[in-house]
Homo-oligomer: A and B are copies of this chain.
């Protein structure tokens, strides 16, 4: 490659620091990575660069989070508009392509030593692909989990492009090794979400709930439900699935905080379903407060206070396991994921969902489970991102061959 081009396009000398790049494409990713990002930012041997893109710059909360990110003094580059409108699979696929196209430029210009890919969203695979073609060392957080949507495939595909793996639980650890990753580079560090949740000591107040969203006022001193049900992009029947939950929850008459789904393929129809249900079943939703988004600390405070979390959020599997929150997990999205005993799995069936919620209401809170928890998850990741020897050429690690 032309050395001039290289020189002209890339950030200056590193002064011996390791340049670590974090592509952040949604608010959730920022929230979950905050502890890690702060530790890397503070480390004298690290030149940290946040690359913002995707929906993080788009929703109406971006002012909020943008101000928050800026106030931390991070080095932020390449905020880009690369989300294609449409809210369907075609738009999602194109968003991934456009994101990868633009991050290719950004990664080439920034020239990082390590690119940190987080989770399983489609833009993250696209960015991992771009980083792989650019011959960067890729670190992946939260690989190895199983789940019930396209996320499952995306997560494992990222694993096969990544060089360092920070998994959150023993089963994921085993799977990443089975997939041929070198044990020297696979680390069970626990979940960043759970570490974050464990550090929250806020107690839920009425204001924390009722200053958000619209609908009934929630009395937090009495039992209340939380519902978070995202569309599952490989299923055609998101609408019917959501209605099952709406009916089940509506018929119980328990005060409920209902979170609107994340922006994603299928979201529009989910939102429409909720709106339609609200208009036609006003008694069923008379006890419901609809909320779009709350700060992480307040969300954790709600998880610690709720009588039961219903739906298919990963928070039910991860944060709730440690917080002891009773969970009714509905449908395929989290199916197969390692779960602690706080989770009851049910199908998209109003009666079954209702029965499971009642069972959880009777049971009450659970003991904290260690399945996703390690102390200092963020510190463990930071240490390795800083110290591990970089490499780019991967080779399938043949455990079976070794053992014979």
A8 close to B396 (CB less than 8 A): no
When A and B form their complex, which 9 residue pairs have the shortest distance between CB atoms, in order from nearest?
A4-B66, A93-B133, A97-B101, A156-B160, A81-B86, A1-B88, A157-B160, A83-B85, A157-B157
A109 to B77, CA, bound (A): 9
A180 close to B154 (CB less than 8 A): no
A394 to B154, CA, bound (A): 10
Q: Is A135 an interface residue (CB 8 A)?
A: yes
Chain B residue nearest to A150 (CB atoms) is: B132
Q: Which residues does chain B contribute within 8 Å of A91, judged by CB atoms?
A: 81
Given A81-B91, A133-B122, A161-B157, CB of A146 within 8 Å of CB of B395 = yes
Shortest CB-to-CB span from A169 to chain B, Å, is 14
Number of copies of this chain that the complex holds: 4
Q: Is A386 an interface residue (CB 8 A)?
A: no
Contact with B along A351-365 (1 / 0, CB 8 A): 000000000000000
Q: Is A179 an interface residue (CB 8 A)?
A: yes
Shortest CB-to-CB span from A37 to chain B, Å, is 15
Contact with B along A99-130 (1 / 0, CB 8 A): 01110110011000000000000100110011
Q: Which residues does chain B contribute within 8 Å of A130, judged by CB atoms?
A: 93, 96-97
B146 close to A153 (CB less than 8 A): no
Q: Is A215 an interface residue (CB 8 A)?
A: no
Contact with B along A148-179 (1 / 0, CB 8 A): 11101110111111000000000000110011
B180 close to A180 (CB less than 8 A): no
A83 close to B81 (CB less than 8 A): no
A133 close to B150 (CB less than 8 A): yes
Q: Is A402 an interface residue (CB 8 A)?
A: no
Shortest CB-to-CB span from A403 to chain B, Å, is 12
A393 to B100, CA, bound (A): 24
B70 close to A336 (CB less than 8 A): no
Stretch binding the partner chain, chosen from A57-65, A249-257, A289-297: A57-65
A108 close to B90 (CB less than 8 A): yes
Q: Is A33 an interface residue (CB 8 A)?
A: no
Q: Is A67 an interface residue (CB 8 A)?
A: yes
Given A1-B89, A93-B133, A179-B179, CB of A146 within 8 Å of CB of B81 = no
Given A67-B4, A70-B4, CB of A85 within 8 Å of CB of B88 = no
- Residue of A62, A81, A82, A130 with most partner-chain B CB within 10 A: A81
Can you list 14 A-B pairs with a CB-CB distance of less than 8 A? A4-B70, A5-B62, A5-B66, A8-B66, A58-B85, A81-B85, A81-B88, A90-B108, A97-B97, A122-B129, A129-B157, A157-B157, A175-B398, A336-B395
A400 to B173, CA, bound (A): 13
Chain B residue nearest to A130 (CB atoms) is: B93
A126 to B393, CA, bound (A): 20
Q: Which residues does chain B contribute within 8 Å of A399, judged by CB atoms?
A: 178
12 additional A-B residue pairs with CB within 8 Å, beyond A80-B105, A100-B100: A8-B77, A58-B86, A90-B105, A98-B98, A102-B105, A122-B133, A132-B150, A135-B150, A146-B396, A175-B398, A234-B393, A332-B393
